Amino acid sequence: MQGERGFPHPGLMPTALAPAQLSWEQDRPRSLAYGDVYFSERDPVGEVHTVFIEANDLPARFRAAQRFSIGETGFGTGLNFSLTLEAWRQHAPPGAFLSYLSVEAHPLKPSDLARSLHVLAVPRNDIRRLLEQYPPSVTGLHRLHFPEERVVLTLVYGDATPALAQVRGSVDAWFLDGFAPSRNPEMWNLAVFRQVARLSRDGTTFGTFTASGQVRRDLEEVGFSVQKVSGFGGKRERCLGTFRGKTPSSRPPRTAAVAGAGIAGLAVAAALRDRGVAVTVFDPMGPGGRASGNPAALLTPHLTAGEPARNALSLAGIRATRALVQGTGSDAVPGLLLARGVEHRGLAAQAARRLTRLLTVDPRDTGDLFSVLSRRVDHPVLFYPDALGLDLGRFCEHLARDLPLERRALDRLRVTPDGPVCDIAGRSRSFDTVIIATGAAQTAGLGGQPQPAVVGGQMTRVSGSLSMSAARALTGQGYCLPERDGQHWLGATYRHGGVHGIRVEDNTDNLRHLSWVDRGLVHAEITDAWYGERAVFSDRLPAVGPFLPVVDSHGCLSHQDGAWLNLGYGSRGLLYAPLLGHWLADRICGLPEPLPAALSSLVNPARHADSGVP
């Protein structure tokens, strides 16, 4: 369903949600809207273990798992997730990966969530990690990362049926939870169960506390076998069962090759490795050897008043990149983080108009990605509190430290009936899947695939102390990083055409464009410069997804199974690449994805199928 300009229908776009309204009965929360409690008075932990964890035989299945996925209707206090995380730690083998998906229409406030979990004696460290990543109360998909356990939690905020309809991927076991069916019929109906069935595979199981006759009949209608068993505590009966699908489960890849060791290639390689895929990265220039070697890159949201889809991508992208920085310990690497928070000033007329229009947007609808510092029509100023400045080249080196990387080029890619075959250093090597993340560099064998344009960008380093915050970066006409070792990085030019390498004129342009930061900047001493070439498509969004089918030598349409594109990020690799790396890895492995279908379609390479050109 599409709206104007090809973006998803506005009804699918982020909207701030009112938090759940609770009353407390001796430290037990009750929903005022549904008149029901979030957990039982007698042994709530035991109930979760019996009704959900044991009903789905999770301890045994965890022990045999390489990848496993759980779906839940009703996140509530997070007790089910917290106890599942504990069981995963206890039973899962080293290197196994768990994806936990949960839908919630009325998220608890962080303070209520914390109080509930403390009452239930959930480990303080688990509560802290959950609260540190707890998403803003905005409709959509929000991913949380627990890298020590190789676990991801995807919270789907919104009404169950439309929210689940936007989820892609497969679930191995379901926790059918939520308030009682008589109090919450929106959660217990045929429409919801059809979505549950769509996300299930042959052999997917479920457990639930209810034994309602209508619930049993609806589950059977969508393809589940249903069994009544003894209830827990004061309840006489409950149900469990298994989905009997018509199609067998697909086998995820065991091996993968990633061409390109920039932020796009390394992000997807790390995500595939975490999901148990044996991945090898190929790049003759090493990590961050091209445009991702930028010594002073900005992670900022790309927000506009008229394109809420991009705002949704920005929220998901900011969260994914910050999770990657923190989860890999990059924020502790000396010299890697250069700024925390970015001020965006509407200096040029076009930028001033864009920011002024953005002032009409409720910041809560963007997940509070911005606050307003100035509402002047001629000079609006926004602040992005979650934005960062960092040494992207050093970040890439840090990401690559635990990844198998060969300093060789993937010279040619051929897709055969048996899978992709790569020519590398004169040898043919086969992989189950291959991802092309070469940015502006070209790889042979990409005929028929969309090709990005190449745009050069130059950074300039100057000596001195400019009149700006010691922590925040500034952006407007160009951008400026705070002082580090008595110097500032400035940038960046946006150069079309075939001129390559560092130019004196570009240094002059950077100083002139950023004279608004400090009038003395035009006379500053230039101490260094850096140049890189970005790959960019005309809509400023990357192409991430399967290779497009091509016409083979017999004139037949040939599908390129196992080959994927992941390029064209332009100057927004930090914003989108970690998010889309997770999305692509989940798509390849058949796991629940971190983006709703309506948003992932925005980066589909097929949008360039008609023209074949950027």
Are residues 240 and 56 in contact, defined by beta-carbon separation less than 8 angstroms? Answer: yes
Considering the domain boundaries, does residue 528 fall inside one? no
In angstroms and rounded to an integer, the radius of gyration of the C-alpha atoms of the chain is 25
Give, for 295, the enclosing helix (H) or strand (E): none
Q: Structural domain tally of the chain?
A: 2
Please check whether residues 125 and 270 belong to one and the same domain. no
Task: For 229-289, give the DSSP string.
Answer: EE-STT-SEEEEEEE--SSPPPPPPSEEEEE--SHHHHHHHHHHHHTT-EEEEE-TT-TT-
* CATH code where residue 548 lies: 3.50.50.60
pTM: 0.94
CB atoms inside a 10 Å sphere around CB 191: 14
Indicate the residue among 243, 272, 307 that finishes a domain: 243
CATH number of the domain encompassing residue 227: 3.40.50.150
- Per-residue confidence at 5, pLDDT binned at 50, 70, 90? very low
Residue 514 lies in a domain: no
Q: Which of 243, 267, 288 is the last residue of a domain?
A: 243
Give the pLDDT score at 298: 97
> Is a pLDDT exceeding 70 seen at residue 613?
no
pLDDT digits (tens, 9 = 90+) for 212-242: 999 999 999 999 999 999 988 878 899 999 9
- Residue 92 structure tokens: 């899962």
Range of the domain at 49: 4-243
Let me know: does 544 contact 566? Beta carbons within 8 Å: yes
pLDDT digit string, tens, across residues 14-55? 889 999 999 998 888 999 988 888 888 888 999 999 999 999
Do 215 and 273 fall within a single domain? no
Reference 581, options 593, 571, 570; nearest CA is 593
What are the pLDDT digits (tens) for 58-79? Answer: 999 999 999 999 999 999 999 9
| Residue 379 or residue 490, greater confidence | 490
Residue 371 lies in a domain: no
Listed residue (360, 401, 396) closest to 377, CA to CA: 360
216 and 122 both lie in a single domain: yes
**Which of 243, 261, 279 is the endpoint of a domain?**
243
Q: Positive or negative CA dihedral for 559, 562, 567, 573?
A: positive
CB 157 within 8 A of CB 138: yes
327-376 pLDDT, tens digit each: 999 989 999 999 999 999 988 888 888 899 999 999 999 999 999 999 98
> Could you tell me if 155 and 288 lie in one domain?
no
**pLDDT for residue 579:** 98
Residue 262 lies in a domain: yes
| First-to-last C-alpha distance (Å) of the chain | 24
In a shared domain, residues 549 and 598: yes
User: DSSP of 9-26, one letter per residue?
Assistant: PGGGS--B-PPPPEEESS
The model's pLDDT over 443-492, given as tens digits with 9 standing for 90+, comes to 777 888 998 999 999 999 999 888 888 899 999 999 999 999 999 999 99
Tokens of 272: 């595939």
Same domain for 265 and 183?
Answer: no
Q: Are residues 201 and 279 in the same domain?
A: no
Greater confidence (145 vs 442) lies with 145
What is the model's pLDDT at position 118? Answer: 94
Strand ranges, E, within 29-146: 29-31, 36-37, 67-73, 97-104, 140-146
Angle at 429 between CA 427 and CA 433, to 5 degrees: 150
**Residue 13 in this model has a pLDDT that exceeds 70:** no
Residue 178 lies in a domain: yes
Bridge partners, residue 435, by sequence: 258, 564
The reply to whether 358 falls in a domain is: no
Residues 60 and 97 grouped into a single domain: yes
- Residue-wise pLDDT for 388-408, tens only, equals 999 999 999 999 999 999 999
The span from the CA of 141 to the CA of 127, in Å, is 20
For the CA atoms of 46, 184, 154, 240, the dihedral, rounded to the nearest 10 degrees, stands at 50
**Which pLDDT score is estimated for 33?**
87
Residue 11 in this model has a pLDDT that exceeds 50: no
Is 604 inside any structural domain?
Answer: yes
Q: Is 125 exposed, middle or buried (0-12, 13-18, 19+ CB in 10 A)?
A: exposed
Local confidence band at 558 (pLDDT 50, 70, 90 cut-offs): low
What is the edge-to-edge ordering of all strands in the sheet holding 410-416? Answer: 410-416, 419-424, 427-430
